[in-house]
Amino acid sequence: MHEVVRRARAIAPQLAQHAAETEALGRLSDASVALIKEAGVMRLLQPVEYGGMAAHPVDFAEAVMEVAHGCGSSGWVCGVGGVHPWEMALMDRKLQDEVWGSDQDTWIASPYMPSGVATEVDGGFVLNGRWQFSSGTDHCDWVFLGAVVGDRSGKPVKPFRAMHVVLPRADYTIVEDSWDVIGLRGTGSKDVIVDGAFIPSYRTIGTEEVTEGELAAARAQRTESVYKLPFWTMFPLGITSAVVGIAEGALQAHLDYQRDRVSAYGGKVREDTSTLKAIAESSTEIAASRLQLLDGISRIYDKVEAGEPVTFADRAFQRRNQIRAAWRAVDAVDAIFARSGGNAVRRDTTLQRFWRDAHVGLQHAIHAKGTALDAAALIEMGVEPEGPLRAMI
């Protein structure tokens, strides 16, 4: 087990103690941020020369799960934000120096949805737009944003060009009242607005470069295998790891809750064989989700390590399995929550918070059962997916 995974496991009970405060604040508590930084979770995928570990993605996924086991919102922020140092490693070294030169614990936010238009000007671009779902943004000093290249009228150019751009905190506005939700409240996934900020060219990267993996790594002169992985393999990994960790936390909360509970009929719940069977089945399903997720990323990493190409089929099957892992884990949470009795819905119970967090985590676009599953099925039929069926794979 990686040392950071051990530390993440050690801080999970403390994160659990701060979970209610985190939810009430609508962002991670200061104490939670300090614990995560001390454990080094956000630096697992960061380059070694900037205080990171360039770790195996399995170690990253396991650390995120441990954090989410204690606090769903903390796990989610680690899962999303922990991937950003991986992509930053693919950017211009000048930008990496700007981000980490004075503080190697600097956090970076996102989102990647191309919700803004970048107009090309001398030396770079001028960016305008509004983005939703910037998880953990209150604790970050930089942000990755998705953008389309537009003409001077603000319309996307043809052929279509999309890219990721990076801005410092002074160049965007966080919309404070934009995160009022039923679950993952503590992630503080607020909207951000950019109004005419200049983005120098070295703070941009084409989405097609990171999609394949190898292209961006070669441009950045990164030889470590982890930086050659495809974007749509790495980014979903962090998010689904958080969901699986939340499911594990829900299972533990359910066990603690049911151990001494007496049902409305006066019997001990732990003597009810139907409840015990549901616990056993749910525990197995959550464990299967963990194993399938970690197996998928390991298979792709092993191909890169061996110098073998990662095919579109490899990526599609990994995405299919990653999506299924998330849904299987949340279905298992539903099965145990349904047997927890009426008092489980009270807001002072840990279980209901995990249940809400799990369902909101499932709402992320990378968990949609649409094109990724369709593409994987077509490949198994010997049909090459085209057009929109190749999106986010």
Residue 243 has φ and ψ, to the nearest 5°, of -65, -45
240, 293 Cβ separation under 8 angstroms: yes
> Mean pLDDT over residues 266-275, rounded?
82
> Mean pLDDT over residues 84-110, rounded?
98
What pLDDT band is residue 265 in, cutting at 50, 70 and 90? confident
What six digits make up the tokens of 378? Answer: 């077509």
Q: Is the pLDDT at 271 greater than 90, yes or no?
A: no
153, 196 Cβ separation under 8 angstroms: no
Q: 72-81 vs 231-258: helix axis angle to the nearest 10?
A: 170
Residues listed for the chain: 393
What pLDDT band is residue 270 in, cutting at 50, 70 and 90? confident
> Mean pLDDT over residues 260-266, rounded?
77
Domain 229-390, classified CATH 1.20.140.10, yes or no: yes
Positive or negative torsion for Cα 315, 62, 78, 293? positive
The architecture (CATH level 2) of 108-205 comes to Beta Barrel (2.40)
CB neighbour class for 200 (10 Å; exposed up to 12, middle 13-18, buried from 19)? middle
Q: Is the pLDDT at 7 greater than 90, yes or no?
A: yes
The architecture (CATH level 2) of 3-105 comes to Orthogonal Bundle (1.10)
Give the C-alpha separation, 380 to 377, whole Å: 5
> Mean pLDDT over residues 112-138, rounded?
96
316, 379 Cβ separation under 8 angstroms: yes
pTM: 0.96
Give the pLDDT confidence score for residue 382 in this predicted structure.
96
Start-to-end CA distance of the chain, whole Å, equals 29
pLDDT tens sequence across 154-193 = 788 888 899 999 999 999 999 999 999 999 999 999 999 9
Report in angstroms the alpha-carbon separations of 338 from 84, 112, 169, 352, 371: 36, 35, 43, 11, 31
Q: Mark 240-270 as b/e (b = at least 16 C-beta within 10 Å).
A: bbbbbbbbbbbbbbbeebbeebeeeeeeebe
Q: How do beta strands 142-150 and 114-121 pair?
A: parallel
Give the C-alpha separation, 230 to 310, whole Å: 8
- pLDDT averaged over the chain? 95
pLDDT tens sequence across 225-253 = 999 999 999 999 999 999 999 999 999 99
pLDDT tens sequence across 283-300 = 999 999 999 999 999 999
Q: Hey, what's the torsion of the CAs at 219, 221, 225, 228, to 10 degrees? A: -10
Residue 206 has φ and ψ, to the nearest 5°, of -70, 140
Domain ranges of the chain: 3-105, 108-205, 229-390
Give the pLDDT confidence score for residue 269 in this predicted structure.
79
Give the pLDDT confidence score for residue 153 in this predicted structure.
79
Give the pLDDT confidence score for residue 159 in this predicted structure.
86
Beta bridge mates, 114: 146
Give the pLDDT confidence score for residue 156 in this predicted structure.
85
Report in angstroms the alpha-carbon separations of 78 from 84, 302, 351: 10, 24, 21
